[in-house]
Amino acid sequence: MKKRKLKKKFKVLIVLLLTVLSITIGIVLYISNNKINEDALEIKLIGDDNITIKWNEEKYIDEGATAKYKDKDLTNSIETSDNLQLDKIGKYSYKYKIKYKNIEKTIERIVNVVEYTPPEIKLKGDEKIIVAEGQYKEKGATAIDNYDGDITDKIEIDTSNFEDKVGTQKIIYKIKDSSGNENSVERTVIIKEKAKNTKNQKVAVLNYHFFYKDEEDRKKNCNQSICLDIKKFKEHLKYLNDNEFKILTIDEFVEWMYGELEIPEKSVLITIDDGWWGTSKEFGNYLIPALEEYKAHATLFLVVGWWETKNYESKYLSLESHTYDLHYEYGNKCKYRSKVNCVPYDELKKDLHKSAYVLKSHKAFCFPFYDYTEQSIKAVKEEGFKVAFIGGYRKASRSDDKYKIPRYPIQSSITMNEFKNMVN
């Protein structure tokens, strides 16, 4: 009886053991069959892992990535994140993350936003400057970058090849933007000896009026003795340029007259009267292109009320007063030729003030027809003009009356030898 019971218990124990073993094996097999193989989870970039795009020129288009676990496509489950600021130059990260069960993998693409355009740098003043020894004043330059904006304060001025002594000197202006793009410009400074006797130094002030381009143009628009062939004018400019004359601005001339500036012995001032044919962008645009071609400065005495100042805009052309609306011959109504000397004093003052207001300048005045009186000179002084010009056919000096500065009126018949005699 006992043996049977023991045998029965043994059988039950065996069954239990087999059952536990079976369950254990099943669990092991299940875990084994369902275990994640981390190496089998893959995520790959489409395209390069490091790309460069040009700021403000190219757009970033994400090429994406792919992901799978063994043969199972998980691409649609990829999560992305980035710190892109495409409106700013810099290095940015674009990340791709895949999660599968308890495994996670991440890759990234580096996006470089760059800018290759060098900054624009411009000289203040001319590329070539002629000055007397000891008179050079640094004018500087400006710099604008398409990304950084105004970076004028970053300009470096290289004066290692500049000495303030007679000769040809060089100054280099360098600029570098935040991306490392560089640019530079150069100024040539020709330094001449100043006049040995500055008190008696004389300057030819040339007085032109109108210009024509060919015979047909002359007959149709400019048939006067003071109307000059533009080709002759260019010959004058070429001669002055080739022989290194300093062509003065009106500012420089006025400073020289007042003893505030010394200039080279070979200096001239170019003036043009009225503002009519050949001098305006509206009426025969010959003067300004010629000045810009030779980088020569000139002063136009404009009858301000007759023409718009916008028609004379150029860095090489200064505008000064030739009255607002008094450039008329008065005929038999007055013993003087110019209306300037015939109108009531208050009317003259009002006209002068209006012309200066429009031009925003009181530097210089030019008397129409070279005609003046002590009263009209008084009005010019009281309005605040610093100098005034007439005719005279001789050079100007510091000893001249500052309100009767002589000039050489240029006639159409002028020869090159006559011109040379005027300026030399």
Domain segments of the chain: what residues? 39-114, 120-192, 198-423
The encoded tokens of residue 184 equal: 């530079």
Residue 197's pLDDT band (boundaries 50, 70, 90)?
Answer: confident
Q: Mean per-residue pLDDT for 249-266?
A: 96
> pLDDT grade, residue 2 (50/70/90)?
low
Residue 11: the pLDDT is 65
Per-residue model confidence (pLDDT) at position 318: 98
For the domain spanning 120-192, the CATH number is: 2.60.40.10
**Confidence at residue 7, expressed as pLDDT on a 0 to 100 scale:** 64
**Angle, nearest 10°, between helix axes 416-423 and 230-242?**
40
Q: Which residue has the tokens 């900054």?
A: 119
**pLDDT tens-digit series, residues 324-379:** 999 999 877 788 999 999 999 999 999 999 999 999 999 999 999 999 999 999 99
Mean pLDDT of the chain: 92
Region 9-15: what's the mean pLDDT? 62
- Closest by CA to 55, choosing from 86, 84, 93, 85, is 86
What number is the average pLDDT over the span 102-117? 95
> Residues 227-255: what's their mean pLDDT?
98
3-state secondary structure at position 388: strand
CA end-to-end span of the chain, whole Å? 153
Give whole-number Cα distances, 298 to 66, 269, 282, in Å.
71, 7, 18
User: At 5, is the secondary structure helix, strand, or coil?
Assistant: helix
Q: pTM of the predicted model, to two decimals?
A: 0.81
Mean pLDDT of 153-159: 97
Cβ neighbours of 127 (radius 10 Å): 10
* Whole-Å CA distances, 393 to 78, 82, 337, 410, 413: 89, 78, 19, 9, 15
Cross-strand partners of 269 = 205, 248
101 vs 299, residue with greater confidence: 299
Per-position b or e across 308-321, b if 16+ CB within 10 A of its CB = eeeebebebbbbbb
Residue 4 has pLDDT above 80, yes or no: no
Per-residue confidence (pLDDT) for residue 3, from 0 to 100: 59
Model confidence pLDDT, tens digit, residues 50-78:
999 999 999 999 999 999 999 999 999 99
Does position 310 have pLDDT exceeding 70, yes or no? yes
CA trace torsion 154, 156, 157, 161 (10° rounding): -170
The percentage of the chain sitting over the pLDDT mark of 70, rounded to a whole number, equals 92
What would the pLDDT profile of 110-126 be if each residue is shown by its tens digit?
999 999 999 999 999 99
DSSP letters spanning 249-268: -HHHHHHHHTTS---BSSEE
| pLDDT tens per residue, range 374-400 | 999 999 999 999 999 999 999 999 999
> In terms of CATH, what superfamily is 198-423?
Glycoside hydrolase/deacetylase (3.20.20.370)
For 235-254, what is the mean pLDDT?
97
Band of pLDDT at residue 37, cut at 50, 70 and 90: confident
Confidence at residue 10, expressed as pLDDT on a 0 to 100 scale: 61
The pLDDT of residue 77 is 94
**Residue 28 reports pLDDT greater than 50:** no
| pLDDT value, residue 31 | 47
d(CA 248, CA 299): 9
Share of the chain above pLDDT 90, in %: 86
Report the alpha-carbon distance of residue 212 to residue 285 in Å, rounded.
9
Q: What is the pLDDT of residue 191?
A: 96
More confident residue, 15 or 105: 105
Single-letter amino acid code for the residue at 76: N
Angle 366-372-378 from CA coordinates, rounded to 5°: 85
* 303-317: average pLDDT: 97
3-class DSSP assignment, residue 203: strand
Query: CATH number of 39-114: 3.30.70.270, 2.60.40.10, 3.40.630.30, 3.40.50.150?
Result: 2.60.40.10
In this chain, the answer to whether the domains covering 120-192 and 198-423 adopt an identical fold is no
Cα–Cα distance measured from residue 186 to residue 122, given in angstroms and rounded to the nearest whole number? 10
